[in-house]
Amino acid sequence: MEVNDALVNKLAHLSKLTFTEQEKKDISKDLQNMIGFVEKLNELDLKEVEPLMHMSEEINVLREDVIKGSASREEALKNAPETDGQFFLVPKVIKK
């Protein structure tokens, strides 16, 4: 796969970033190096290698669920910066 200006521009558009011409050249070079590394991995003969399901041989030791008490609403809201008495109030972060 070859990295060209169209690919870098498309990636910049998708990531909502803007780059100078020098930055585009640097990114193009870096992407080409990364793709070259991945293509180098394709040269390995992996026919006898089983797929890796987990990173270690360790097995999770799970405990039984135990029902415990929980904090009351008043306790939970006690240290909140803003509440309406029933819920936490948070600033709106999504604008339409």
- How many other β-carbons are positioned within 10 Å of the β-carbon of residue 52? 6
Residue 42 amino acid letter: N
5-41 has CATH 1.10.3470 classification: no
Cβ contact 3:35 at 8 Å: yes
* pLDDT single digits (tens) 40-85: 988 999 889 888 888 888 888 888 989 888 889 999 999 999 999 8
**C-alpha–C-alpha distance, residues 10 and 5, integer Å:** 8
Token duo for residue 14: 């998708």
Backbone φ, ψ for residue 83 (5° rounding): -145, 165
Banded model confidence at residue 2, pLDDT cuts 50, 70, 90? confident
DSSP SS3 for 52: coil
**Domain range list for the chain:** 5-41
